[in-house]
Each structure stands twice: as structure tokens, then as C-alpha cells.
Amino acid sequence: MIVGLDNTSFEVNFAQFVNRRFCVAVGSGTSALYLALRALNVSRHCEVIVPAISWISTATAVLACGATPVYVDVLEDGNINPQAIKAAIGPRTAAVVGVNYFGQLAPWAEILEVCQSFSVPVIEDAAQSAGALLEGQRSGSFGDISTFSFNPMKVLAATGEAGAVLCDDEAIANRIRSLRYLGSSDMIESREPDLNHKVDLLQAKILDFQLELLPQKVDRRQQIAQRYRSMLETTPIDASARPLTSSSFFDFPIRTNHSHILVEYLSRQGIDARKRPSLTLTDQPALNPIGKREFPVAQAIARDTVCLPMFSSLRDEEIEAVGQHVVEFFKNVTK
């Protein structure tokens, strides 16, 4: 399978959905982030500011460009802290990557205000947040470039690996199209060396179909989140954070200092809750952090977070069972 008309159909439809001018479909969310950085001329001697807690590829994409990730702490919802960005910007800062963590949209107005005041370009890593809205603006429409992942775990999911890069700048879009396939825009002449980042046409076709179902899937996840919130009101957990519509609820995270025993308890009840994330990026041996290693909020999230089951096909009785077992756990643990 190669890039072709079906791929173009998804690119056009997804760009319209997100309200961007251009979409370039690629082979994975990691490739999307890497190509976005390349398009901003991130290379050796550059620094890129990233949140201290995210999936590994947020940092490895920076390292693959030869640049240095500069980690900063996050807010209590897991999203990058705009004031931490401001403190970290320096003469070598080439870009800032903000991640919509757990599917919750980051505080983009504040992030963009800080970065624009320093003329630093911004990448919105929307891998987990397809379909979410922040004050009427769709996930993927913030920053200079946005990136998506569509692997089978995601809210907008292919059956294999796929991703996309979106922007409003035609020159950036054309460069990403070239970089997507060996630095060649015509598949004959390579003007800029790179690897093969093409998406499989089958995945693009599947995504075109799944895109029509995305609003329905996000709506269902938000309904599940609301039910979880209501059931957990009697527990010590504060799960009533920001408006439901500002998250796609890729995950439903709760925080407790009993996280490990809660996961074990739910597992015994046949419930697949996860300790996620379990490590900050700065705790990953391969990611070579520089400077400060202590990020108290990110480390507390990694230590205390449990993600309850969250997918749009959850039945009402399954949601009730999860909530009831969590409530029962806290009744016993607080005795």
C-alpha cells in the first residue's frame, strides 16, 4: 500500500474537521512529531521544551533530530505549565511541544501568549485528544503545527500505526510531504535526506470512515466520565476537574496515594485499571535529561495516578461495576 487518492481524501477531511488548511498523513504519531520538528528546522545545538511527563516519543522525536529536550513541570491535570515554559526559554530554544495529556486540552491561550512573546514556535501534540473542544476550538487547531497519533489505542483509531501533521502554512506542509518519503516530493529526486514515513493506504481509508464516528465516540466517553465523576463523589478522589467537552477522555485518570493497591484490588475483581504513567520522562534511562531532575507535580502524577477503564463501547453495567468497586475500595482503605 502506498500514498494515493484515498490518503488524500482523509487528509482533506481531517483538515476540515480540525479547521486547519493542511493535513499530511504519516506512518505514526512519532513520525508526525519528528517531522513537525524537522519542518521547524530543529537540529543539533537546538533545545526543545517538553513536559516532564508524557509518552516516550515526545522526547525521542526531539533526540532523533539531534536536539536536546528541556523538561519542565506540569499542572495538576498533567499538562505543561505555561509559567515553567517561560522560565525555561533560552537562546537555543527552537520550539515548545505541548501535550494534551490524558486527552485533556492544555491551557493553550496561556501557552501561546508566552511563546509568542519570545517568538518561539509551538507544536500541539494532540495524540490523545482527537475530537475534544476548548472554548469551541478543536484539538489540533492550536499552535504553529499539530500532530496526531491514530494507533489502535487512540480515540480516532486505525487498525495499525498511523499519524498526521496539520498546519496552516503551505511551505511547512510541502516540506513535510517531501520529508514523509525520503525527502522527495515527486518520488524521483531526493532533495533532503530522510526516512520513509508514509502511511498505509488501508489505514487512511479506515481513518476516513472512523472520522465520521469520532463525535459520537467522544460524546460517549464524556458520558462515561460524567458517570464516573458522579459515583466517585463519595470518595476522597477529586475527579471533577475541567469541563467535560475539553477532553476526549483518552484516559480517565484518578489520583490516590493508594494507587498500587487500588490497581491490585481492581485486578482481583476482573477490572483492567492501569498504573499509567509509571515513569516521568526524566526517569527514563535513555532520555538524557539535562539540568534539574526534580519535577514535583509530574513525579506525583506518575506515583499516584490510576487510569480506570475508558473506551466508548463500555456498557452501562460495566461502568457501574467499576465505580462501585472503587467506592468500596475507599470505604475499606479509610477504615
Q: What is the CATH number of the domain that holds 151?
A: 3.40.640.10
- Report pLDDT digits (tens) over 254-276: 999 999 999 999 999 999 999 98
pLDDT at 1: 45
pTM here?
0.93
Q: How confident is the model at residue 6 (pLDDT cuts 50, 70, 90)?
A: low
Residue 115, pLDDT > 80, answer yes
Whether residue 231 sits in one domain with residue 122: no
Residue type, 56: I
- How many structural domains compose the chain? 2
pLDDT at 186: 57
C-alpha cell belonging to residue 283: 526517569
pLDDT at 232: 93
Full residue range of the structural domain in which residue 184 is found: 5-209
- The CATH number that applies at residue 237 is 3.90.1150.10
Whether residue 287 sits in one domain with residue 154: no
Whether residue 23 sits in one domain with residue 89: yes
pLDDT at 299: 94
Q: How confident is the model at residue 181 (pLDDT cuts 50, 70, 90)?
A: confident
According to DSSP H, which parts of the chain are helical?
Answer: 5-18, 29-39, 57-64, 82-88, 108-117, 170-180, 201-231, 259-268, 296-304, 316-333
| Dist CA 299 CA 249 (whole Å) | 21
Residue 111, pLDDT > 50, answer yes
Query: Taking CA 195 as the corner, what is the angle to CA 191 and CA 200, rounded to the nearest 5 degrees?
Result: 115
| Dist CA 288 CA 55 (whole Å) | 15
Q: How confident is the model at residue 327 (pLDDT cuts 50, 70, 90)?
A: very high
pLDDT at 286: 82
* Selection from 201, 66, 182, 40 nearest residue 120 by Cα: 40
Percent of the chain scored above 70 by pLDDT? 91
Mean pLDDT of all residues in 174-202: 77
Whether residue 228 sits in one domain with residue 201: no
Mean pLDDT of all residues in 296-301: 94
C-alpha cell belonging to residue 229: 465523576
Mean pLDDT of all residues in 182-197: 68
Whether residue 221 sits in one domain with residue 193: no
* Selection from 242, 325, 274 nearest residue 75 by Cα: 242
The residue among 190, 209, 228 that closes a domain is 209
Whether residue 260 sits in one domain with residue 163: no
The residue among 194, 209, 224 that closes a domain is 209
Residue 169 backbone class (left: φ over 0; alpha: ψ -120 to 50; beta: rest) = beta
Mean pLDDT of all residues in 89-97: 98
* In contact, 304 and 259? CB cutoff 8 Å: yes
DSSP structure class, residue 298: H
Whether residue 175 sits in one domain with residue 299: no
Whether residue 182 sits in one domain with residue 59: yes
The residue among 209, 236, 263 that closes a domain is 209
Q: How confident is the model at residue 5 (pLDDT cuts 50, 70, 90)?
A: very low
Residue linked to cell 477490572: 271
Whether residue 56 sits in one domain with residue 143: yes
DSSP structure class, residue 275: -
Residue 62, pLDDT > 50, answer yes
Handedness of CA 33, 57, 111, 102 (dihedral sign): positive
Whether residue 117 sits in one domain with residue 78: yes
| Residues belonging to the chain | 335
Whether residue 167 sits in one domain with residue 53: yes
Whether residue 301 sits in one domain with residue 221: yes
Distances (CA, A) of 150 to 34, 73, 94, 116, 127: 15, 26, 26, 29, 7
C-alpha cell belonging to residue 247: 477532553
Residue 163, pLDDT > 50, answer yes
